Each structure stands twice: as structure tokens, then as C-alpha cells.
Amino acid sequence: MATAPILDRASDEHVDFADMRRRIKAIFIGSVGNLVEWYDFYAYAAFALYFAGAFFPNSDPVVQQLNAALLFAAGFLVRPLGGWLFGYLADHHGRRGALMLSVSLMCFGSLMIAVTPTYVSIGIFAPILLGLARIIQGLSLGGEYGTSATYLTEMADQRHRGFYSSFQYVTLIGGQICALIVLLLLQKVFLTGEEIRAWGWRIPFFIGALLAVVALIMRRNLQETDAFEAARKIVTRTSSIRALMQYPREVLLVVGLTAGGTAAFYTYTTYMQKFLKLSVGLTDDQTTLVTLSALVFGIILQPIYGAISDRIGRKWLLIAFGVSGVLFTIPLLTTLQTAKGPLTAFLLIAAAWMIVSGYTSINAVVKAELFPTKVRAIGVGLPYALTVSIFGGTADSVALWFKSQGHEGWFYYYLTGMIGVSLLVYLFMRDTKADSAMHRHE
């Protein structure tokens, strides 16, 4: 008779293990697709130096880069539209279908860039097609964030939700690293600079399109989340915007908690390459090495901080980011500007990552925990995309404008102010780990 409880426990452990394996597999596939999307998006920034002249035949290389940068910005401007469109699809028709469509669009956008003829061949249609491809990629990425954040959070078990959802930024940063690695391999191993300018710049976009196809095949086997399946049975669907407007406080919270974090994230990722080159004075090789090393360090921190949030709560980690960001942003950037070598520069950026990771590691799960199932994807995706377009995508431009005016240090105060605004939100918001809307399907 005493064997029955033992058998029951063994059966329960087998079920728990099978469920954990199912969740991990789904999270892995969702994360891989996110990595591919971010690789495709940032390959444009990594290789713009080489292909700008093929699409913008101006003798001034600065004008060429400016034109290429404007199209990079266009990808940010359409992200709110992608957040709305894919949020609607994910909340009404399922997370799986929206994730498959987003990676399909990214594949198409990358393939367009890879095969588009140059200005010499088709004239003004070349930059027009390039711009269209960037818009398609921006729509895809705008939808990917909210949908993947929702999917990863809903697939994770309650005890480890912070840890598993942190892999969204692991793969987001990983996409940037992959783009840099491809650039380094082409530069140092396979091609000369002239060959990359002539035709080699197309290679990373072909790679991105191929990887997107692989991610699409993997996502075909994604399981729909239990939360969405439960909500589909009991929820009456309404207009996605109208439904979202029933949660104005949560929408404003997403905007407030994102503003400072996204400005800091883009400062220490996309802008940092320019800062190390133009302000610190590192060589091209040193700049790439420091940037790559800092991104790898940032990746390592994400799951560690996510696991910490599962123990102490999300709010304390966000407050730690806000307080540290307000206190140390100006000293860090001021010291970095006068860094004597690549090692010092890396250590300072690593210190910045230890601050910023308090936001990046958990921002996806915090947003998902704010909303009930029926509006979760659009609630996470749309206000986030709007905020990133305004404060994240413009970080480069604001910093460079201050520098062009001879007041580079003013940007440090701007960034500190943005983090301070978000800190006020962190102080007065609820801890979503303790008071989560994840269980609500209404």
C-alpha cells in the first residue's frame, strides 16, 4: 500500500519534466526567431558604410551615410504600426501565427535588400526599393517585440517567468553580435574592402533571409500558449484599440518605464560604436572589439538579472537601474570620453551594462504582466514601439546633434533626465511579480 504515493510522485515528476521540456523548447524556438529578426535589422546598420554609395551616388560620404541613416530611422518610425498590426493578430488569432508572419516579412525585407539593383542600374528606384525593404523590416520588428514578449512570458512557468523572458534581450543583443561577427569575418578573412563595397555587402542579407526561412520552419511547430487558448473560449473580441483603451494606466506605465531604459540601451549599443570612434578616439579594430566584448558581457547578465527578479521582484530591479542610472550616467560617460585605451573603455561600458540590465532583462515580462490575455500582445507592443521610436531610435541623433553643437556633455544630462523620469514611474508602480495580470483572461 505504501507504494502508491511513490508511484504518484514519480508520475507527477514525469509530467512536470515533460511540461518543462515543452516550455523550454517553445521558448528556445521563439527566441531563435527573435535573434534572426534582430540580426536582419542590424545588418543594415553594420554594413551601411559599404553599400550607401551604391544607392546614394553623392560624392560626399557624409551625405551618403546620412541618407542611409534616414532609412534606418524609417525602420523605427513604422514600428508602432507593426506593434498595432501584429498585436491585433496575436490577440485575435493567436501568438503562433503572428510570430510566423513577422519572421516571414523580415525574410522578404532582407531578400529585397540583397537583390535590389544599384542606382547605376535603375536610378532613383534603387533607394526607393531600399526604403520599402526597410519599412517592411520595421513593420516586422515592431510586431516581433510585443508578440514574442507575450509568447515567452505566457510559455514560462510562474516561478521562472523573469528568467525565461530575459532571453528576449539575450537574442536581441545576440542579433547585433551576429551582424558584427559577419562583418568582421568578411573584413578580416574572406573579402577586401573593395569587394565588400562592390558586391560583398549583399552577403549578410542573403544570410539573414536564409536564417529567417529556418526560423519560419521552426516556428511552424510552435505550440499555442495555454493562456491564449483559455482566453479564446471565454473572451468576446472587440476592436483592439478600443479594448486597449480600457487600460490607460497600464499603457502610460509601459511608456514611462520604457523611456529611460530604451534611451540607455541604444546609447550603449548602436551609439556606442560612434562614441568610441569619434569621442574616445579608438581605432576601427579597437572600436569593434570593445563593442563586441561589451555586448557579450551584456548577454551574460540578462538571465542572471531575470533570475534575480524571480526572487526579489521586478520593481526593485527597475528601481536599482533608475537610481544607478541617475547617479552614475554622467560620471561613466565623462570618464569614458577620456579613456586611455580599449581595456578601460570596455570596463566602463561593462559597468554601464550592469546598470542597464536592471531594465533590459525584465522589461518584457513587466509589460506582459501588466495586461490581461485579451490585449497583452498589443498592450506590450504598441506603446513600447511608440516609445522606442521617440526615445530609443533618436538616441544617436540627439547625441550627435549635441556633439555637433560643441556640447557633447549635454547628452549625458539628457540621458540622466530620461532615466530619472522612468525612475519616478518605478517608484510608484506596483510590483508585477506580486500583482500580475497574467492569470486574467477577461
Region of poorest pLDDT, from 10-14, 127-131, 172-176, 349-353? 10-14
Q: What is the mean pLDDT of residues 12-32?
A: 68
- pLDDT for 424 equals 95
Average pLDDT over residues 320-339: 94
CA dihedral 407, 264, 382, 439 (to 10 degrees): -160
Q: What is the pLDDT of residue 287?
A: 84
For range 193-200, the mean pLDDT: 86
pLDDT at 221 over 80: no
Q: Considering only the C-alpha atoms of the chain, give the largest distance between any 2 of them, rounded to a whole number of Å.
A: 88
Write out pLDDT tens, residues 399-419.
Answer: 878 887 888 889 999 999 999
Residue 49 corresponds to which amino acid? L
For the stretch 63-110, pLDDT in tens is 666 666 666 667 778 888 888 888 888 877 788 888 888 888 888 989
pLDDT digits (tens, 9 = 90+) for 387-403: 988 888 778 778 878 88
Written as nine digits, the cell of 89 is 493578430
Q: Is residue 278's pLDDT more than 90?
A: no
Would you say residue 14 has pLDDT above 60? Answer: no
Average pLDDT, integer, range 149-177: 83
> What would the pLDDT profile of 414-440 be if each residue is shown by its tens digit?
999 999 999 999 999 888 777 655 555
Question: Lowest-confidence range among 95-99, 172-176, 353-357?
Answer: 95-99
pLDDT score of 326: 96
- The confidence score (pLDDT) of residue 61 equals 64
pLDDT for residue 300 is more than 90: yes
Question: What pLDDT was estimated at residue 7?
Answer: 46
Span 223-248, mean pLDDT? 70
pLDDT at 17: 67
pLDDT score at 15:
47
Most confidently modeled of 31-40, 153-162, 212-221? Answer: 212-221
Q: Is the pLDDT of residue 365 over 60?
A: yes
Average pLDDT over residues 288-294: 89
Q: In angstroms, rounded to a whole number, what is the distance separating the alpha carbons of residues 196 and 55?
A: 14
Residue 181 confidence (pLDDT) above 80: yes
Query: Looking at residues 113-130, what average pLDDT do you find?
Result: 86
At 13 the pLDDT is 47
What pLDDT is attached to residue 285? Answer: 80
Determine whether 347 is exposed, middle or buried from the number of CB atoms within 10 Å of its CB (0-12, 13-18, 19+).
middle
Mean pLDDT for the stretch of residues 120-141: 85
**Tens digits of residue pLDDT in 367-377:** 888 888 778 88
Q: For residue 439, what pLDDT is reported?
A: 52
pLDDT at 258: 92
pTM of the model: 0.82
> CA–CA separation, 187 vs 265, rounded Å?
27
When pLDDT is cut at 50, 70 and 90, the band that residue 12 belongs to is very low
**In the predicted structure, residue 8 carries a pLDDT above the cut 80:** no
Task: Measure the CA angle with vertex 415, ends 413 and 420; round to 5°.
Answer: 90
CA angle 84, 90, 94 (to 5 degrees): 165
Q: What percent of the chain has pLDDT over 70?
A: 88
CATH code for 28-428? 1.20.1250.20
pLDDT of residue 353: 96
**Who has greater pLDDT, 29 or 59?**
29
Q: According to the model, what pLDDT value does residue 346 have?
A: 95
pLDDT of residue 358: 94
Q: Extract long-range pairs of 166-169: CB within 8 Å, 24+ residues apart.
A: 166/302, 166/303, 166/305, 166/306, 166/307, 166/361, 166/362, 166/364, 166/365, 167/27, 167/31, 167/302, 167/303, 167/306, 168/31, 168/34, 168/364, 169/302, 169/360, 169/361, 169/363, 169/364
Instruction: State the DSSP code for 393.
Output: T
Secondary element (H or E) of residue 372: none
Report the pLDDT value the prediction gives residue 328, as an integer from 0 to 100. Answer: 96
The answer to whether residue 21 scores a pLDDT higher than 90 is: no
